[in-house]
Amino acid sequence: MSGGLMRFAYLDGSAHGVPFVELLWLSEEMREIFAAMRRG
């Protein structure tokens, strides 16, 4: 989807009272993009 810049995984969270837990891995390029967005 994003050319390997972001990866997602979903785990069953029912043992902790939530439907799922989402894990996210960001490439360094995506980290820089989100940091720039935070700075405005």
Of 3, 26, 22, 24, nearest to 37 (Cα)? 26
> Per-residue pLDDT for the chain (40 aa), expressed as one digit of tens each?
467 899 999 999 999 999 999 999 999 999 999 999 999 9
CA 39/CA 31 separation, integer angstroms: 12
pTM of model > 0.75? no
pLDDT attached to residue 14: 97
pLDDT attached to residue 4: 85
Structure tokens belonging to residue 18? 């939530």
The one-letter amino acid at 4: G
Strand partners, 12: 20
